[in-house]
Amino acid sequence: MSLCPLCERQLLRTGAYLPSSDYDGQWFTFAICADCRQRQARLPRQARQRQDITAAHKVIKRPDRYEVSIWQSGDEAKLYARLSADALLRSAPPGAAPARARPDADGIIGSK
């Protein structure tokens, strides 16, 4: 089973897919757990971006440990992350607090 790159626990319920690129420019998306997603929603943008960058570096170093999808372009990765976020919001369990949309999910992690 995959791990969440933020908390390093098993990824039982996906909270978001984040787009990023590796050092060679290969685009990918990776999953973070729902608990980390909700925790990050309360953080200031700069702190959230630092965590996203750290998580992306972990995924680049050990992609076999995490849920990763490889994409041909940044547009594909960003679109997948955006559409997945919409689908995850619709499939949230009843009574769950709605998560805010990630304002930085449409760019390279840490680019803004």
pLDDT single digits (tens) 15-58: 999 999 999 999 999 999 999 999 999 999 999 999 999 999 99
Q: Do the Cβ atoms of 80 and 71 come closer than 8 Å?
A: yes
**HEC per residue, 68-102:** EEEECCHHHHHHHHHHHHHHHHHCCCCCCCCCCCC
- Establish if 37 belongs to a structural domain: yes
State the residue range of the domain holding 46.
14-90
| Helix, strand, or coil (residue 45) | helix
- Establish if 34 belongs to a structural domain: yes
| In the block, residue with structure tokens 């976020």 | 85
The number of distinct structural domains making up the chain is 1
- Establish if 108 belongs to a structural domain: no
Alpha-carbon span 103 to 13, nearest angstrom: 21
Give residue 16's identity as a one-letter amino acid code.
Answer: A
Average pLDDT, the chain: 85
- Establish if 85 belongs to a structural domain: yes
pTM: 0.77
